[in-house]
Amino acid sequence: MTTAETTKTTTAGAGGGLPEAERRRFREEGFLVLRGLFGPDEIEELRAEFMAIGAGGPLPGHFEPREPAPGEPDDPLTRLPRVMHPHQISRLALRWLLDARLRVVLEGLLGEEPLAAQSMFYFKPPGARGQALHQDNFYLRVEPGTCVAAWIACDLIDRDNGGLEVVPGTHEMDLFCPEEADPTLSFVREYVPPPPGLATVPVDMAPGDVLFFNGSLVHGSQPNRTADRFRRSFICHYVGRSAERIGNWYPTLTMSGDRVRLPESEGAGPCGTEFEAPAGPH
């Protein structure tokens, strides 16, 4: 089955809301792609903001690049790791996290007021490892219910440069106990194999496309195998206003930017436990 046949394309309804057919599709499959939700100029501004962050040096707790240790295998992610919670250090990132277009879609998918819980930016430069298949709510531990991700493409994204893969149907399943990932392919430890009878589906995207997906949906990516193409993405996580608990790593905001304090859930942590250092070939 081809990517085009399995990736859903839609637009918001004329009245500003998300059509019922698309809400039903999200409920049934666990993911939905909105093509061109953001324009080229907006994406260029977002890329420029983060490339400036990448060139500017460490920002403790948010962006922590380093030089490789002597004898350590070369890894592009040591110099360009992901940026965690950039909305706390960048007004532009905060504006994107709370964007009204995202809010309209999220209200349709969640069926209630959304709260913003997290933002991240992935540079994924040429040669970078991917992130093994996983479930986001394994880390956020939203209770009751789950989270929803808005994964915004900032480059042309396909299988060559490590585009996202999803496993449709897993959004209706419980959280899995992860296995350990292959450190030559993934920069994080957790790996959830596709359940029997289910398979990964690649999601090719263009700049400005947004992939929304359920926090229980198994998803991940392969390494960026290109020599000259980034796979940059801005990723936000949201929960419904009815959520009662979430990990303390995820301080929630209303879509107007006001802090909402939720009790802490157990077992939560940052989105992906990183290997301490890249492993050599094995």
| Torsional sign, CA 105, 110, 112, 117 | negative
- Residue 270 CA to residue 188 CA, distance in Å, equals 11
Q: Which two tokens stand for residue 125?
A: 């430069």
Instruction: Please state, in angstroms and rounded to a whole number, the distance separating the CA atoms of residues 97 and 92.
Output: 9
Q: Say how far apart CA 176 and CA 181 lie, in whole Å.
A: 14
| Pairwise CA distance, residues 177 & 170, whole Å | 13
**So where are the chain's domains?**
29-56+83-260
Contact 130, 220 (CB under 8 A): yes
* 3-state class (DSSP) for residue 113: coil
Q: DSSP of 223-280, one letter per residue?
A: ----SS----EEEEEEEETT--BB-TT--EEETTS-EE--PBPTT--SSS-B-SSPPP
The per-residue pLDDT for range 248-276, each reduced to its tens digit, is: 999 999 999 999 999 999 887 666 577 66
Residue 148 tokens read as 């929803």
For domain 29-56+83-260, give the fold: Jelly Rolls (2.60.120)
The 10s digit of each residue's pLDDT in 2-29 is 454 444 555 554 345 899 999 999 999 9
Tell me if 195 sits within 8 A of 173, measured CB to CB. Answer: yes
* pTM given for the model: 0.92
Three-state DSSP state, 98: coil
Q: Give the percent of the chain with pLDDT over 70.
A: 89
The pLDDT value recorded for residue 282 is 29
pLDDT bucket at 71, cuts 50 / 70 / 90: confident
